Structure 1
C-alpha cells in the first residue's frame, strides 16, 4: 500500500481501533473495497493505532456470548449478534460469537511491533487478528494465536517481543491515552494527518468521498 506511483496522490490513513470491535473489522473491509475502486488515482499508507473498549478486561478471558449478554442484556445482545451475522455474510464471512473475549493489550503491542517492520505488514496482521477472533473463535489474548497470526504475515521476532510484557508497553499506553482523550469510539479514521476524520463502519462510498476531500 505504501509508496507513491507516478500520477497518483498519496493518502495517509490513521485508524484507531480495538481488535475485539466488530465495526472496526467491518470498517476495514469497506475501506479496502474503496481502495480497490480507486487504485488508479490514489496510493494509500495505513497506520493502525490502539484503543481499548474495555481497559479492565481480564487477561485470562471470559466467555464471549456471556460477556455481551451481561453488558447489553440478553435481548439486545441477540439482536446485535443477528445484525453482525448479517453484515459479515454480506462480506462472505461467518460471524462466530463462541470462544473467549478479554484483554486486547498484547494484541496492540504486537500490532505496534509489526508496524516497526512496515505498514503493509501491520495491516496484514490486523486482518489476521480480526479474522481469527470474529470468524474462528480465537481468543485475542492467546499467545499462540497472536504468534500464529504474526508468522502468517511475516512479522519477525514476535515471540521474543511478546515474551517481555514491557516491550512496546510505553508506546501503546501513550497512544491509548492520546486517542482515548480525543475520540469517543472506534473505528475512527484520520485522513492525511487529520485533514478529515470519519467514525464508524462506513460504507465504501463514504470512504471514496473522503479520499476526494482529503486530497483537495
Structure 2
C-alpha cells in the first residue's frame, strides 16, 4: 500500500484476485500499465484481497497439465490466454504448477501489512507463471519472502504459514468478496477516491489498460470538481 504524498490526489483500488489464476497475472500487468502512465502525479492506495477460486486443489499443488485435464479435459483454452497476455508482459514462459494458493495468500497479506503488497503480488505471480515455482510449498514461499525482505525470520515465517490463524485470515477475506460483495470471478477491481470518498467503479476481468485509465480519470475528475 502506497503512502499518500501531501498535495497529490489519491486513488484507492481494492483488488480481488487469486494467486492461482492466470488471467489475474494478465490483469495485473494491464492494471500496472495504467498506474505507470500516471507516473508520480497520483498516489495509489492499492489493497489486495484474497480470493481462492478452487479450494479443492491438492494442498501441495497440482501439475499444470494434470490440473487442466482434471478440470477441463485439456489445456486447450490456455493457448488463447497465452496469446492475449504476451503483449502485456505475461508470457507464461515457465508455467509448471497449478498451486493451492491459500498459504501464498497468507504471505501476501503479511507483506501488505509491511507495506510490500505490490511487490509481493508481483513476485508470487511471477514465481508461478514465469519461474516455474510451486508457491503451494512453504519453502518456495520462504524464498519469495527473503527476496521481499520481510521483517520476520525464516523460522517465524514458517510457523506463520503453517498455523491456522493465517489461514483463517485468508478465508475471512475470501468470504468478504464472494458472499458480501457477490464477486463471482477474478480479477475484480473497485476503483475510488481515498477513504471511500466519491463514486466507486468496478472492473471485472483482465481489462485493457485503457479501461483502468478511464476509471482513474473519472475518480480524479470528481476529486478536482
Whether contact under 8 Å (1:84, 1:95) holds in the other structure is no
- Name the residue aligned to 1:49: 49
Does residue 139 of structure 1 match 2:134? yes
Partners of 1:13 and 1:123 lie apart in 2 by 12
Superposed counterparts of 1:64-83, under 5 Å:
64-74=64-74, 77-78=75-76, 80-83=77-80
Q: Among residues 89, 113, 130, which one is paired with 2:125 in the alignment? A: 130
- Name the residue aligned to 1:8: 8
- Name the residue aligned to 2:215: 210
Does residue 187 of structure 1 match 2:183? no
Alpha-carbon offset, residue 40 of structure 1: 4.8
Partners of 2:209 and 2:153 lie apart in 1 by 33
Does residue 95 of structure 1 match 2:92? yes
Alpha-carbon offset, residue 98 of structure 1: 4.6
TM-score, normalised on structure 1?
Answer: 0.89
Q: Residue by residue, what CA displacement relative to the aligned partner does 1:166-201 show, whole Å, maximum 9, x if unpaired?
A: 242222221111112121110011112471111111
Does residue 173 of structure 1 match 2:182? no
Partners of 1:178 and 1:3 lie apart in 2 by 25
Partners of 1:167 and 1:58 lie apart in 2 by 20
Q: Among residues 85, 89, 102, which one is paired with 1:105 in the alignment? A: 102
Unaligned runs of 5+ in 1: none
Unaligned runs of 5+ in 2: none
* Structure-2 change in CA distance of 1:45 and 1:73 (3 Å): same
TM-score, normalised on structure 2?
Answer: 0.86
- Name the residue aligned to 2:114: 117
User: CA RMSD, aligned part only?
Assistant: 2.0
Q: Number of paired residues?
A: 211
3-state DSSP of counterpart to 2:215: helix
Whether contact under 8 Å (1:187, 1:200) holds in the other structure is yes
Alpha-carbon offset, residue 157 of structure 1: 1.2
Whether contact under 8 Å (2:14, 2:47) holds in the other structure is yes
* Structure-2 change in CA distance of 1:210 and 1:98 (3 Å): closer
Alpha-carbon offset, residue 33 of structure 1: 0.7
